[in-house]
Structure 1
Amino acid sequence: MYEQHTNRSAPRLLPIAEVVQIVGLGESTIWERSRLGSFPKPIKLSMRTTRWVSAEVEQWVAEAIARRA
C-alpha cells in the first residue's frame, strides 16, 4: 500500500521528453545508458508509461558537471 509522507514533497516523475530537455541527450542514448547502468533507471508505471525520478536525473547532471574538472 502507498504511504504518504507529509514531511517532504513527493518525488517528481519525468517523461522521456523532459529528460531529453534536461540532459541534452537523445532518447535512444538515454535508453541505452539506462540499460547499461550509466544513467538512472526508469520506473515502469504501466505497459506504456515510463518515468524517471527527477532527483536521480538531477544527481546524474551534477555528477557529469563534477567530472569535467
Structure 2
Amino acid sequence: MNEIPETGFLRLPQVLSVIPLGKTCWWEGVRSGRFPKPVKLSARCTAWRAEDIRELINALSEQTEQ
C-alpha cells in the first residue's frame, strides 16, 4: 500500500493499480455497494478518498485470510 497516500484522493487509474480489477467490474462493485462511493471533485473529475481505499484493501485481505 505504499502507492496510496495516507490522506487525499485517488483517481480511478490509481485505484485500479492497487486493486487488480477492470473498470467495468469496479463500477459494478461501486453501484452494488461492495466498493466505496466516489467523490465528485468537479463535473468531469471523480475520485475516491484514500482512506476508503485503504479500508477496502484491509477488508478484502481479511476475507482472503479466512
Aligned length: 60
Q: How does 1:14-33 map to 2 (within 5 A)?
A: 14-33=10-29
Q: For structure 2, which runs of at least 5 residues remain unmatched after alignment? A: 1-5
* Aligned-residue offset at 1:12: 1.1
* Aligned-residue offset at 1:65: 0.7
1:6 is matched with: none
Cα separation, 1, equivalents of 2:32 and 2:62: 21
How big is the alpha-carbon RMSD for the aligned residues of Structure 1 and Structure 2? 1.3
Q: TM-score, normalised by structure 1?
A: 0.79
Q: For structure 1, which runs of at least 5 residues remain unmatched after alignment? A: 1-9
Q: How does 1:43-54 map to 2 (within 5 A)?
A: 43-54=39-50
Deviations 1:3-29 (A, max 9, x none): xxxxxxx83100000000011111111
The one of the two structures with greater contact order (alpha-carbon pairs below 8 A, sep at least 6) is 2
Which ranges of 4 or more aligned residues in structure 1 deviate by more than 4 Å?
Answer: none
Q: Secondary structure at the match of 1:34?
A: helix
